[in-house]
Amino acid sequence: MIGTINACLHKISREGDMLIYIVKTNDTRFYYLYEFLKLKYECIYSDIIPPTNNIKKIILPLEGIDEFGYIKHTNIKIDNLLKGDIEEIYTGKVNKYLLRICDVNKIKIISFYDDLNYCRNEFLVKIDVVKVFLEEKLNSRFTDFKTIILGNDYRSYLMSERLNCDIYDKGSISSKSVKDFLWNNYDVIINFSNNDLTLCGDKIIIEMNEIDNIDIFILLNCKKVYFINQLLSQYLTKSGGKIMYDCMVNR
């Protein structure tokens, strides 16, 4: 059963008759989600399976689980968590394994990515994260270095407007003249496009497309490529946790 994020968390008592289990990873957004939730609800924030059958709601990493049923960034198999009467599982990405096991166990899946308010607010945080990261990395104000965005969707135009930087929205950058233009005139490239940027030279590239399995070639040969899904787990994480919290309880 797939639910929507509109399903509210019912306030639970301090006697511990119902628990929320937040799976702990190195993504500190979930630490702050725990800090917000524990003010109203009984919560467990841990990277081991809790020794209780009172858990009613589980919050997984936004990446969800892998094809073998293991929760991303952990050694926990989702099957081993589903004891007692789990009612809801919150996550971001939902795959076939999670769909199947939740259907068998009559558990509702609630994806943050299905909520328009969450997606809108998360993208605004992404813009701030990019700005904060680049200013730290280059040790200067954002206006002191030249940045261009590659892309032609609404996200590209919104980020260009918010950051007041140039945008290249003509599609392919395969021609030598376009590559030379980008490489000779800009310090930072923010990529929303499908262009191959592996030959990045000495430019800093922010990859805005969320990539599950990052090609080892990119990691070894493009020392200055940074992925937004990694940056979100390291910068402005309190804001990221607050967005998830708002989606869960402010309905």
User: What does the pLDDT read at residue 118?
Assistant: 96
Maximum average pLDDT range among 7-21, 33-47, 200-214: 33-47
Q: Residue 47 falls within a domain, yes or no? A: yes
Residue 235 CB coordination number (10 Å): 19
Quote the DSSP letter at residue 10: P
How far, in Å, CA of 180 to CA of 224, rounded?
A: 18
In 78-153, alpha helices (H): 96-104, 116-138
105 and 133 co-located in one domain? no
- Given pLDDT bands bounded at 50, 70 and 90, which one contains residue 9? very low
109 and 127 co-located in one domain? no
Please report, for residues 75, 85, 110, the alpha-carbon distance to residue 211 in angstroms, rounded to integers and kept in the order given.
21, 34, 22
User: What does the pLDDT read at residue 182?
Assistant: 82
56 and 34 co-located in one domain? yes
> What does the angle CA 44 – CA 45 – CA 50 come to, to the nearest 5 degrees?
55
Please report, for residues 87, 90, 156, 165, the alpha-carbon distance to residue 114 in angstroms, rounded to integers and kept in the order given.
18, 11, 21, 30
Q: Residue 219 falls within a domain, yes or no? A: yes
How far, in Å, CA of 143 to CA of 110, rounded?
A: 40
**Which CATH number do you get for residue 190?**
3.40.50
Q: What's the total number of domains in the chain?
A: 2
Residue 181 lies in domain: 117-231
| Average pLDDT of the chain, as a whole number | 86
98 and 137 co-located in one domain? no
Q: Residue 182 falls within a domain, yes or no? A: yes
226 and 121 co-located in one domain? yes
Residue 221 CB coordination number (10 Å): 12
121 and 225 co-located in one domain? yes
121 and 218 co-located in one domain? yes
pLDDT digits (tens, 9 = 90+) for 110-125: 999 999 999 999 999 9
Q: Residue 244 falls within a domain, yes or no? A: no
Q: Residue 239 falls within a domain, yes or no? A: no
Contact 142, 160 (CB under 8 A): no
108 and 139 co-located in one domain? no
Q: Residue 52 falls within a domain, yes or no? A: yes
177 and 80 co-located in one domain? no
**Which CATH number do you get for residue 37?**
3.40.50.720
59 and 152 co-located in one domain? no
Which residues does 105 contact at the CB level (< 8 Å), separation at least 6? 82, 86
132 and 108 co-located in one domain? no
- Which of 58, 89, 114 terminates a domain? The answer is 114
110 and 132 co-located in one domain? no
pLDDT cut 70: percent of the chain above it:
85
* Crossing angle of the two packed helices 237-249 and 116-138, in degrees rounded to 10: 170
Contact 240, 246 (CB under 8 A): no
Lowest mean pLDDT among 45-54, 71-80, 140-149, 221-230: 221-230
Lowest mean pLDDT among 33-47, 113-127, 140-154, 167-181: 167-181
How far, in Å, CA of 100 to CA of 95, rounded?
A: 9
> What pTM did the predictor assign?
0.85
Q: Mean pLDDT over residues 153-168, rounded? A: 95
How far, in Å, CA of 139 to CA of 163, rounded?
A: 17
Strands of the chain (E only): list them.
Answer: 2-3, 19-23, 43-46, 55-59, 88-91, 108-111, 147-150, 166-168, 188-191, 204-207, 225-227
Lowest mean pLDDT among 8-22, 77-91, 120-134: 8-22
Contact 207, 226 (CB under 8 A): yes
Q: Residue 241 falls within a domain, yes or no? A: no
Q: Residue 73 falls within a domain, yes or no? A: yes
How far, in Å, CA of 179 to CA of 204, rounded?
A: 14
